[in-house]
Amino acid sequence: MDRRRFLLSSLAGAVAAPLVDSAHAQPPKGIPLIGVLWESTIAPRAEAFRQGLRELGYKEGQNILIETRTAEGRVGGLSALAAELVQRDVDVIVTAGTTTTQAAKRATSTIPVIMTFVSDPVEAGFVTSLAHPGGNITGLTNLGPELSGKWLEFLKQIAPNASRVGVLMNSATRSHRVLLKEMTNAAKTLVLQLQSVDVRDANALEGALVMLKKARPDALVVLLPRGSEDQEKRILEFTAMQRIPAIYHGGNS
C-alpha cells in the first residue's frame, strides 16, 4: 500500500462526508466526522480529497461526514475556526499548509491532526521527527530533499555547459539548509559549483541579485517561498536579463 493510500485509509477509518458546513446540526450517531481547515478554498484539492475517499468506499453523507472551515485568506481567523472544529467534537482535523496546522495544534492536543502541504514539520514543531512524529499530528510533508539533486540534473540537461549554479535561499530556514546540503552532494557528481546567496527578507532581495550577477551563475535554483508579485517579477526579470534557466522549489506552505 502506497503512502497516499495508507494516509487516506487511516483518515477515513477514523472519520468523515460532504465538504459542507453544518454548524448547528449534530452528525448522526455512528457516522465519523472530519474537520477540514482551509486557509482559502482550493477546489482541486477538495475534490481530490473527496475522490480519494470514494475510492476507499466512503460515501459522503452516508458513512462519512466532513465539516469545513475556510478563512479565505484571513490568517488571523484560523485559530477561531480551529476552535470551532474542536467544539464540534470532530474525530480528526485535516489541514493544508503550515499556518492551518499551527492553528489546529494550538486548538487541540488530543484530536488527531492530519497535515498536508507542510514544508518542514520538524522545524515548525509539529512532529519530533519524520520517522517518529509523536503527539497528535501526522501526515504529509512536501520537503522532499532527495528531489533537490534532480533539480540540478534538469538544469544540467537544459544547460549542458553549466558549471556554476546560484541558489537563492534563506539560511535561517531549516528546510533550505537541508535542501542545500542535498544539492551540494549532487553537485559533486554533476561537477557543478553552487553559489548560495542568503535572502532573509524581501528587502534583501536586490542585494542578493547584485551578488548573483557578480558571481555569473549559469543557472539558478530558487528556494524562497512565493513572495509579493513584485518580488516574483523581479526574480523572473533577473533570470531573463542574465539569460539563465531557473527552477523553483515551490510556493508558500
165: its cell numbers: 549554479
**Which pTM was predicted?**
0.61
CATH number of the structural domain 145-248: 3.40.50.2300
Distance CA 103, CA 100 (A): 5
100-109, 130-139, 219-228: which has the minimum mean pLDDT?
219-228
Structure confidence by residue, pLDDT tens digits, 70-118: 887 676 789 999 999 999 999 999 998 888 999 999 999 999 999 988 8
Confirm or reject CATH 3.40.50.12280 for domain 3-141, answering yes or no. no
Ramachandran area for residue 86 (φ above 0: left; ψ -120 to 50: alpha; else beta)? alpha
Nearest to 79 by CA among 91, 65, 95: 95
Structure confidence by residue, pLDDT tens digits, 53-70: 899 998 888 888 999 998
Alpha carbon separation from 208 to 170, 197, 199, 204 (Å, rounded)? 11, 6, 7, 6
- Cβ atoms of residues 245 and 219 within 8 Å: yes
162: its cell numbers: 553549466
Residue 37 vs residue 175, higher pLDDT: 37
Question: Which residues are 222's β-sheet partners?
Answer: 168, 248
Q: Which residues contact 2 (CB under 8 A, 6 or more apart)?
A: none
